[in-house]
Amino acid sequence: MAFVTRQLMRSVSSSSTASASAKKIIVKHVTVIGGGLMGAGIAQVAAATGHTVVLVDQTEDILAKSKKGIEESLRKVAKKKFAENPKAGDEFVEKTLSTIVTSTDAASVVHSTDLVVEAIVENLKVKNELFKRLDKFAAEHTIFASNTSSLQITSIANATTRQDRFAGLHFFNPVPVMKLVEVIKTPMTSQKTFESLVDFSKALGKHPVSCKDTPGFIVNRLLVPYLMEAIRLYERGDASKEDIDTAMKLGAGYPMGPFELLDYVGLDTTKFIVDGWHEMDAENPLHQPSPSLNKLVAENKFGKKTGEGFYKYK
Pick the catalytic residue: 147, 150, 196, 220?
A: 220
Active site residue 149: yes
- Could you tell me if 74 and 48 are in contact, meaning their C-beta atoms sit under 8 angstroms apart? yes
If one counts every other C-beta atom within 10 angstroms of the C-beta of residue 270, the result is: 26
| Residue 73, marked binder | yes
Active site residue 182: yes
Pick the catalytic residue: 66, 149, 201, 290?
A: 149
| Residue 37, marked binder | yes
| Residue 38, marked binder | yes
- Could you tell me if 245 and 239 are in contact, meaning their C-beta atoms sit under 8 angstroms apart? no
Pick the catalytic residue: 170, 196, 201, 290?
A: 170
> What are the DSSP E strand ranges found in the chain?
29-33, 52-56, 100-103, 115-118, 143-146, 166-171, 180-185, 207-212
Separation of alpha carbons 302 and 314, rounded Å = 14
| Residue 149, marked binder | yes
- Could you tell me if 175 and 45 are in contact, meaning their C-beta atoms sit under 8 angstroms apart? yes
| Residue 146, marked binder | no
| Residue 205, marked binder | no
> What are the DSSP E strand ranges found in 109-223?
115-118, 143-146, 166-171, 180-185, 207-212
Separation of alpha carbons 188 and 162, rounded Å = 9
| Residue 130, marked binder | no
Separation of alpha carbons 143 and 7, rounded Å = 36
| Residue 178, marked binder | no
Separation of alpha carbons 216 and 224, rounded Å = 8
| Residue 63, marked binder | no
The interaxial angle of helices 37-48 and 86-98, nearest 10 deg, is 110
| Residue 294, marked binder | no
Pick the catalytic residue: 51, 182, 196, 287?
A: 182
| Residue 127, marked binder | yes
| Residue 233, marked binder | no
Can you say which residues are annotated as belonging to the binding site? Answer: 34-39, 57, 73, 80, 122, 127, 149, 173, 305
Can you say which residues are annotated as belonging to the binding site for CoA? Answer: 73, 80, 149
Can you say which residues are annotated as belonging to the binding site for NAD(+)? Answer: 34-39, 57, 122, 127, 149, 173, 305
Residues noted as catalytic? 149, 170, 182, 220
